[in-house]
Amino acid sequence: MKKIIRVWDLPIRLFHWLLVVGIILSFVTVKIGGNAMSWHALSGYCVLSLIVFRILWGFVGSYHARFIHFVPSPKGLIHFLMGKAKAGLGHNPLGALSVLALLFSVGLQAVTGLFANDDIAFEGPFAKFISSGTVELLTSIHRQNQIVLMILIALHLCAILYYQKFKGENLIKPMLVGDKEIDPSETEMNLSADLGHASKDGSWQRGFALLLLSLIALTLGYFITS
C-alpha cells in the first residue's frame, strides 16, 4: 500500500499556476502591443506580487516550501550529481537551482518593467523617478532578460518531460493535488528526514497565505498608483 504525503501546500500550488498564467499573459500582451500593454502592465504587477509572496513563503511557509529545506549546499549538490545523495520529496538539488533561477529571472523582469519605457505605448510607473540613462539601461535588461526567461522555462519543461519519460515520475500531478505517493519498497529513494515531514496545509496556513498575498498586492498597488 502506497504512502500518501502532502508535499505542496495549496498556497504553493496556486502560486505556481497563477505565475504560469501571469507569464503567458505577459508574453502574449507584449507581442500584441498597443492597447494590450495596459494588460501587460497589470499582469506584470500581479507577477511581481506573486514573486514577493513566494520569497516570503520560502521563509514562513510549509516544510517543503521553505528554502532551508530544499536549497542545496555546494557539497550537497556535488554529492547528488555524483549519485551519493538521494532526491528528497520536494525539489532535488538541480530542481532547487532551477526554481531559484526562475524566481530571479521572473522577479528581475517584473522589477525592471516598473522602470521601463518603450517610447511607444508603455512607461513604467517608476520611470519618472530615475534618469533617462538608467531608464534606458533597465529597459534593455527587461528586453534581454526575456530571452533568458524563455530559455529557463524551456529547460524547466524539458526536465518535466525527462522525468516523466525516463524516470517514470510525474512532476505535474503533485503540483495539482499537493500529494506524492510513496511506495514503501522505494522509501530509500527519498531522504529519511523528508518522509517524516509532510507539509502543513490547513485552514490556518491557507488563511495566512491569503492575508500575506493581499498585503503584498495592496502595498505594491499603493506605490504604483501614488
44-54 pLDDT per residue, tens: 999 999 999 99
**Residue 81 to residue 140: CA distance in whole angstroms:** 36
Which of 116-120, 163-167, 182-186 is least confident? 182-186
What CATH architecture does domain 3-225 belong to? Answer: Up-down Bundle (1.20)
Pairing state of beta strands 179-182 and 3-6?
antiparallel
- CA distance linking residue 106 with residue 54, whole number of Å: 12
- How far apart are the C-alpha atoms of 38 and 58, rounded to whole Å? 30
Q: Which residues of 148-178 are buried (b: 16+ CB within 10 A; e: fewer)?
A: ebeebbeeeeeebeebeeeeeeebeebeeeb
- Distance of alpha carbon 155 from alpha carbon 147, whole angstroms: 13
Per-domain residue ranges of the chain: 3-225
Angular region, 72: left φ>0, alpha ψ -120 to 50, beta rest: beta
Query: pLDDT category, 185, cuts 50, 70, 90?
Result: low
Q: What average pLDDT does the segment 172-187 reach?
A: 81
28-34: long-range pairs with CB below 8 Å, 24+ = 33/120, 33/121, 34/121
- Say if residue 2's pLDDT is above 80: no
Task: Find the helix packing angle between 93-113 and 37-60, rounded to 10°.
Answer: 140
CB atoms within 10 A of CB 23: 21
Residues 208-220 have a mean pLDDT of 98
How do residues 95-112 score in pLDDT, each as one tens digit? 899 999 999 999 999 999
* Mean pLDDT within 206-214: 98
Question: Does residue 57 carry a pLDDT above 80?
Answer: yes
Calculate mean pLDDT across residues 30-56: 95
Q: What whole-number distance in Å separates Cα of residue 189 and Cα of residue 89?
A: 9
Give the residue among 20, 56, 45, 53 at the shortest CA–CA distance from 149: 20
- Give 179's strand partners: 6
In the chain, how long is the greatest CA-to-CA distance?
Answer: 64
Q: Residue 31 pLDDT > 70, yes or no?
A: yes
pLDDT for residue 140 is more than 60: yes
pLDDT at site 3: 80
Q: Give pLDDT tens digits for 61-107.
A: 999 999 998 888 888 888 777 877 677 788 888 889 999 999 999 99
User: Among 150, 138, 134, 91, which Cα is nearest to 114's?
Assistant: 138
Could you read off the pLDDT of 111-133 as tens digits, one per residue?
999 999 987 778 999 999 999 99
Q: Is 179 helix (H, G, I), strand (E, B) or coil?
A: strand
| Rounded distance between C-alpha atoms, residue 95 and residue 101, angstroms | 10
Measured CA to CA, the distance from residue 46 to residue 48 in angstroms comes to: 5
pLDDT band for position 186 (cuts 50, 70, 90): low
pLDDT at 192 over 60: no
